[in-house]
Chains A and B, each alone.
Chain A
């Protein structure tokens, strides 16, 4: 493995070397408009969306200015209104020729988002990130003015996380909108938003968000370090960051959470978690992510604790069922006839009468058909959805039973399994695969096999860490004060302490340090 990693790095170095020669835009900003123009033209060759304009103004048209930006990225009306118009007006009147740059910077340009670029690299970075470059002849620096046009879709309710109560606002693709949505909920200067750029080609803005004083500094530092180590061409989705920074990259279980809901994220931040925003993605990562979070939902906190507790227990049951039900069924009908109540046994035997396949094959077929339908349902254009559900209902429910391929009971089992698997959305993927493992084990060893797999899975879960925090906390290690928000939910007025496990100063065990070793190897 170590060798493979090194090879990958080498290739990367080669690519970056090549790229650097292509976009060499560093160096001082030359003092004349013509030279800057030439340099920009070279940098943005074959970029049809790159636009620049030279303005000659002043009384004799002696003062020359260059404005450059990416077409469509910049609000042109705003640019004219805030920048071009005031400048022309100022320069056509009385002015001090020696201090034009300072005057423009300090007063004339009516825009609050002004930065100074001291070399070409900064100037180019400003242009590609949607800002306008203002260069005045004779200076070795330029102004980068934020006149970005508002882009992206409206804030609306996320489709992936639906809740009955609570805010309908969901994050969008625009980073600034997202950070605003959070700032709107937590009006506090302690809400820190640290920005950095990741992805050598895409230069994606990535933002670490946490509440200082509540979040554990150790975890914040760890997140920062791990993000810095990401060496990648493009960050197209926050999911890519997730894969880079999660602790156990080979585990089936997620150790980094994600959410599209503003109120959910605010809640996580208030608990002391760290969020990672990524420009261009409506999903926001939450770190660390523990197992209990998969059975938590924002609705739990907005309603009475009784209902929340009941629903939590329901979710746990659903989680277990969606993993094990097909396996349990196969174990029952092919090994443990003795434990089946007599009347149920008659029903079971009657429903299996004449089925040509053993229960294992039957279960495998039906689950595969269901998974195919699910995948088709996700990828398919919406209007065709109805056709699929009709076909699914007939093929799965009716025809397979009528044709004697599958038994009635198996259809019910698969249906229950499917319903249960969607009750706990964060673990859908893990259960999808574990279900097969349970099924195979059950077919070979019955309940014994199921027990063995359960032992292995639990051992794995207890060993997992998310940024140094034990994954199964508060159950293992038992943190009694954190149990208030696990299987049982206490009323919100009784939840007086923040999760203790997130505050622990020392990382438990060697996992955290070991993890760093692996990272440096990359």
Chain B
């Protein structure tokens, strides 16, 4: 009896000892105080002429943010800057990530990065190899937004001193996020890009960013890639057409010009669907079907909107406008860039796997030659409080 008790007691105490040891000996391998890291908010990547990578980081200085946001920075004059921007040239991205520490004191913490800005030159040379690091590293946030800089280097964009937000990366990110209500820039997160890059079912398309004046940026348009290389751009109207087709429009404003007046239609709901028609086992046409609900948001000019017939005409004009935008985007990617950013290939692989297996290699050639059928169905829901504009 006593003996058994002793054995049990030893067992219990040894378990306690081992768990205690595992607690203590595990050590502080990853215990890093929040003040011992540099909080990165923006990353820029560009390629030098001799093929090296320029990594630019925008890092927040929390104390400075706190004092600017509370509005009573102690003692005027030398206000600390809320962010600093540092660049480093390295052979690879990872080397640059570590190399940048030669000029900065604390380790970079990338999970907080809001935007990744790719340089134009780097994009033309191909983005696949530099993105490998971002796929591999466990600290990277997969929901980080990606943009391609047009006409400027990423460093120039990250170095702006915006009046809108004390952290430029937050400001840039905000302009990308508000595409929900304008649909003129393609919002691409890192995870989307990673999904698009494997295989050729869908070519990546990334939003475009450019600089306006000294202090501001503009995110409008889309960078079109083929096989990981930048091949061209879509302007804001073509971008919207593209977004209509891939069902990414939440809300936007479309202008209709009629009889010397301008009617702004607010799209409140949109549903886009792409498909590929097949005939005799071969693809015969690219179909895009979009259903739109819209309200009359503004009527600048003279005109009537009282009769159902007036609205029917308006509806037709709206459908035409959307159709035109989609057509422009499709035309450009098909005939000029040879890049299937719509993801018709994904549809084919899903519904016609046999065909896809056979001819996925030359899908882009097939894609660029297929005829196009675009159907737009619009519904006008409301005209607001007034019907016709006030005389």
Interface-lining segment among A47-55, A223-231, A440-448, A489-497: A440-448
Does A345 have its Cβ within 8 Å of any Cβ on chain B?
Answer: yes
Chain A residues with Cβ below 8 Å from B112 are: 337, 342, 345
**Bound: A334/B28 CA distance, A:** 10
With contacts A342-B112, A444-B23 known, is A350 near B62, CB below 8 A?
yes
Closest Cβ of chain A: how far from B84's Cβ, in Å?
15
Does B37 have its Cβ within 8 Å of any Cβ on chain A?
Answer: yes
From B30, B35, B65, B109, give the contact of A352 (CB < 8 A).
B35
Inter-subunit contact A444/B62 (CB<8 Å)? no
Residue interface bits A421-449, CB-to-B below 8 A is 1, else 0? 00000000000000000001101111001
Does A21 have its Cβ within 8 Å of any Cβ on chain B?
Answer: no
Chain A residues with Cβ below 8 Å from B62 are: 346-350, 353
Taking CB as reference atom, which chain A residue is nearest B112?
Answer: A342
Does B26 have its Cβ within 8 Å of any Cβ on chain A?
Answer: yes
B1-59 interface (Cβ within 8 A of A) = 2, 5, 19, 23-24, 26-28, 30-35, 37, 39, 41
**Bound: A104/B28 CA distance, A:** 85
With contacts A335-B30, A348-B34 known, is A444 near B24, CB below 8 A?
yes
**Bound: A335/B30 CA distance, A:** 6
Inter-subunit contact A446/B34 (CB<8 Å)? no
Closest Cβ of chain A: how far from B366's Cβ, in Å?
43
Chain B residues with Cβ below 8 Å from A45 are: none
Inter-subunit contact B66/A352 (CB<8 Å)? no
Inter-subunit contact B33/A334 (CB<8 Å)? yes
From A335, A347, A444, A449, give the contact of B66 (CB < 8 A).
A347
**Bound: A440/B31 CA distance, A:** 13
**Bound: A275/B193 CA distance, A:** 69
Inter-subunit contact B66/A337 (CB<8 Å)? no
Inter-subunit contact A355/B35 (CB<8 Å)? yes
Taking CB as reference atom, which chain A residue is nearest B60?
Answer: A346
Closest Cβ of chain B: how far from A377's Cβ, in Å?
32
**Bound: A9/B167 CA distance, A:** 74
**Bound: A346/B59 CA distance, A:** 11
Does A338 have its Cβ within 8 Å of any Cβ on chain B?
Answer: yes
With contacts A333-B33, A342-B112, A359-B33 known, is A349 near B26, CB below 8 A?
no
Inter-subunit contact A349/B31 (CB<8 Å)? no
**Bound: A165/B102 CA distance, A:** 68
* Most B CB within 10 A of own CB, among A346, A347, A353, A443: A346
Chain B residues with Cβ below 8 Å from A443 are: 28, 31
Does A189 have its Cβ within 8 Å of any Cβ on chain B?
Answer: no
* Most A CB within 10 A of own CB, among B23, B30, B34, B66: B34
B94-146 interface (Cβ within 8 A of A) = 109, 111-112, 114, 139, 141
Closest Cβ of chain B: how far from A449's Cβ, in Å?
7
Does A358 have its Cβ within 8 Å of any Cβ on chain B?
Answer: yes
From A348, A355, A446, give the contact of B30 (CB < 8 A).
A446
Does B385 have its Cβ within 8 Å of any Cβ on chain A?
Answer: no
Chain A residues with Cβ below 8 Å from B27 are: 444
With contacts A346-B39, A346-B60, A445-B23 known, is A337 near B111, CB below 8 A?
yes
**Bound: A152/B314 CA distance, A:** 93
Chain A residues with Cβ below 8 Å from B41 are: 342
* Most A CB within 10 A of own CB, among B2, B31, B141: B31
Does A150 have its Cβ within 8 Å of any Cβ on chain B?
Answer: no
Inter-subunit contact B39/A349 (CB<8 Å)? yes
Inter-subunit contact B114/A342 (CB<8 Å)? yes
Inter-subunit contact A338/B111 (CB<8 Å)? yes
Residue interface bits A327-363, CB-to-B below 8 A is 1, else 0? 0000001110110001001111111111100110000
Taking CB as reference atom, which chain A residue is nearest B173?
Answer: A342
Inter-subunit contact A335/B111 (CB<8 Å)? no
Q: Main secondary structure on chain A at its contact with chain B? A: helix
A452-481 interface (Cβ within 8 A of B) = 452, 456
With contacts A333-B34, A334-B34, A352-B33 known, is A346 near B23, CB below 8 A?
no
* Most B CB within 10 A of own CB, among A352, A354, A440, A446: A352
**What is the interface residue range for chain B against chain A?**
20 to 34
Chain A residues with Cβ below 8 Å from B386 are: none
Taking CB as reference atom, which chain A residue is nearest B64?
Answer: A350
Does B307 have its Cβ within 8 Å of any Cβ on chain A?
Answer: no
Chain A residues with Cβ below 8 Å from B37 are: 337
A300-341 interface (Cβ within 8 A of B) = 333-335, 337-338
Does B63 have its Cβ within 8 Å of any Cβ on chain A?
Answer: yes
Does A2 have its Cβ within 8 Å of any Cβ on chain B?
Answer: yes
**Bound: A70/B28 CA distance, A:** 69
Inter-subunit contact B66/A345 (CB<8 Å)? no
Closest Cβ of chain A: how far from B365's Cβ, in Å?
44
**Bound: A349/B65 CA distance, A:** 10
Chain A residues with Cβ below 8 Å from B32 are: 334-335, 337
Closest Cβ of chain B: how far from A206's Cβ, in Å?
31
Closest Cβ of chain B: how far from A453's Cβ, in Å?
9
Residue interface bits B78-106, CB-to-A below 8 A is 1, else 0? 00000000000000000000000000000
Inter-subunit contact A337/B34 (CB<8 Å)? yes
Inter-subunit contact B65/A346 (CB<8 Å)? yes
Chain A residues with Cβ below 8 Å from B109 are: 337
Inter-subunit contact A353/B111 (CB<8 Å)? no
Closest Cβ of chain A: how far from B208's Cβ, in Å?
24
Inter-subunit contact A350/B33 (CB<8 Å)? no
Closest Cβ of chain B: how far from A160's Cβ, in Å?
35
Taking CB as reference atom, which chain B residue is nearest A449?
Answer: B23
Residue interface bits B166-199, CB-to-A below 8 A is 1, else 0? 0000000000000000000000000000000000
Taking CB as reference atom, which chain B residue is nearest A453?
Answer: B23
**Bound: A338/B37 CA distance, A:** 12
Inter-subunit contact A353/B30 (CB<8 Å)? no
**Bound: A382/B312 CA distance, A:** 84
Taking CB as reference atom, which chain A residue is nearest B31?
Answer: A334
**Bound: A446/B37 CA distance, A:** 17
Inter-subunit contact A345/B31 (CB<8 Å)? no
* Most A CB within 10 A of own CB, among B24, B27, B112, B114: B112
**Bound: A216/B366 CA distance, A:** 84
Chain A residues with Cβ below 8 Å from B60 are: 346, 349
**Bound: A347/B34 CA distance, A:** 11
Chain B residues with Cβ below 8 Å from A440 are: 23
Taking CB as reference atom, which chain B residue is nearest A1?
Answer: B9
* Most A CB within 10 A of own CB, among B33, B112, B114: B33
Inter-subunit contact B33/A358 (CB<8 Å)? yes
With contacts A337-B37, A441-B23 known, is A346 near B66, CB below 8 A?
yes
From B2, B5, B63, B139, give the contact of A353 (CB < 8 A).
B63
Inter-subunit contact B23/A335 (CB<8 Å)? no
**Bound: A319/B139 CA distance, A:** 33
Inter-subunit contact A349/B139 (CB<8 Å)? no
Closest Cβ of chain A: how far from B28's Cβ, in Å?
7
Taking CB as reference atom, which chain A residue is nearest B37?
Answer: A337
Inter-subunit contact A335/B31 (CB<8 Å)? yes
Chain B residues with Cβ below 8 Å from A335 are: 30-32
Inter-subunit contact B34/A352 (CB<8 Å)? yes
Give 19 A-B pairs besides A335-B30, A443-B28 with Cβ atoms closer than 8 angstroms: A333-B34, A334-B32, A334-B33, A337-B32, A337-B111, A337-B112, A345-B39, A346-B62, A346-B66, A348-B62, A349-B34, A349-B39, A349-B60, A350-B66, A353-B62, A444-B24, A444-B26, A444-B28, A452-B19
A interface residues (Cβ-Cβ under 8 A, vs B): 2, 333-335, 337-338, 342, 345-355, 358-359, 440-441, 443-446, 449, 452, 456
B interface residues (Cβ-Cβ under 8 A, vs A): 2, 5, 19, 23-24, 26-28, 30-35, 37, 39, 41, 60, 62-63, 65-66, 109, 111-112, 114, 139, 141
Report, nearest first, the 7 A-B pairs whose CB atoms are least far apart: A349-B62, A350-B62, A350-B66, A333-B34, A338-B111, A353-B63, A352-B35
Could you show 29 A-B contacts with beta carbons less than 8 Å apart?
A2-B5, A333-B33, A334-B31, A334-B34, A335-B30, A335-B32, A337-B32, A337-B109, A338-B139, A338-B141, A342-B41, A348-B62, A349-B34, A349-B35, A349-B39, A350-B65, A350-B66, A352-B34, A353-B35, A353-B62, A353-B63, A358-B31, A358-B33, A359-B33, A441-B23, A444-B23, A444-B31, A446-B31, A456-B19
